[in-house]
Structure 1
């Protein structure tokens, strides 16, 4: 059988990889030592034309199906890894058939949950990861995507201004529908609850989280978080026609959750005395789209919210509330944001994304000001941050780190 390559764009260097060798036996010199999560399949990372590509060994029909699903989710603007291609028709030098490989682009600055929890993080990190997964699940369900295997293992996490943003990694079992029934959504939630509890029990057995953490209680949080967010996004609301300001209030609440209202379904009763409002089309990214429009910075939504707050503070401090917003944003970008992020030495720039560093510098400035009882400039804060905080941060972009497959596992949930 001839080797067959299906790819969204040509990568000539793909042909140089040892496709006639089982993925588990690929030589270390061609691999990138990124942290890996638990997977039922063999997964390896390789450098390819300046990028890091994840290679997953899987049956050919499943690889093609997942490749197509990831492309469809990407077109719908959902947070997921970017598919690169599928390699099938693999055989060993002796002619023995090998499974196909699904290729996806590694998400920079992201980590699997086991690597996140192996670092020294806040005690509530597990709670925040579950919150991020709940937001991801709501987004996917609003699109009509039934996951079928919701878990922390099938998700990557990126820092997002002190919180985390979650990205779908494994779409092998997923199905895309026009919309989901309540039963389909509840099925995904039940799968998530069971899987998360099992994954946290594994971490406890490996000594990565304390005995004071109750895996069952933490896993139950995804049910509460998901349902409250789903209700806010989809519930119908009735009010008097004279209270039309509440339409704006509802939109603001959705924006504060990180969702933008694309369309509203507004109906009145026969007498015209009451109005019903329901967000008909919602999408995430309100803050990051505004920041992108103003500055060209493409960051996570919580990061965008924090940067926009600083931009607004800069506008007020310079008494430019009546100036054109785009001009003020350009001055903030060139006089504040870029000089601060460029202050970081080249040797430390792989530790965090520039937007995350800027967010942490703002936090650091606040703590410095609180200790001193007086305002500290951002220029002074970045110098102190680089000297005292950043050196101890792990390199989240670098191709080094803990291989989380080596952490003891009590029982796999997938």
Structure 2
């Protein structure tokens, strides 16, 4: 207000004005809870078969809400049996925590399964959440739960899913080690991630020994955590390359802009985000998809493949010839022969007598650059920051080139 309109406003009035503006655009945080039942009803009516639960206290106050849409419950059997869970804080007036769970589809994309809004990320909330998740999805063969080392997640998962292994995100575990062990962090990181992603016991043992050489305390810490909790080779069930909780973290990043909203618009927008995540149209004849990948890459996208599985056409007939095996073989059918030793060359005189001279011009005396020149946005220094004089506090020059008189 002072910069744009040159009007002095007291902090209290400014704050109340902002709160009023947010209430107009977002709705009243208190009144939004009264619309929850209507929101949940419309979700269930529009998506028959969904699992939607609203938990209240004895005084009819909001406690928990859980949403698993029908398309997610039906589509999960076509995705990997990996369940990635995570929680993040909400920043509305009443606070709360958003719990999300996701998996990975056939195209390697995020497939959201369920979300919940709870009061706190504690044992009771996570146990309730996993209970509702089991009601919606049950259990699958080779199912595995990936999370960070939050004690409430571990307790809730073990109580509701005692038969399902609960493994840890390697980057969260690496963060725990960074805060616990301060020395040789670079070597610890490289050895730990190599051991975690090793496919064979031989490679795992090699990197484990390297880790022990760097710091024996780290080796003992990881052994205490349990190799099966963080290593791919010791994992009880296949993790399908999901060594981190990035699937759930990515969903959290999508919802970052709505965490300050009241509970009704939060749940409504989450529904729209999940709904819009999978809405694509595939045209066989035109070989197009609304995601644009089919027509631009000339190879069936994940959405087209999902439709192919229902219609049973030959997927390879919809690929560009450049992706087919025949073209691959033909591209490499010719042989590259070495020229052999120079002493054994047989060159005609009319060819060996020809001379090629170097380019015209002087040879530069400066040392040739071996690295490319980085653009200004890649440099560490902020090129957008304008120079400011430490003498007169004005911008556009420094104190060495300053010509302004000193102020008393």
Q: What's the TM-score once normalised by structure 1's chain length?
A: 0.29
Q: Which has the higher strand share?
A: 1
> Which one has a bigger Cα radius of gyration?
2
TM-score by length of 2: 0.29
Higher relative contact order (CA 8 A, sep 6+): 1
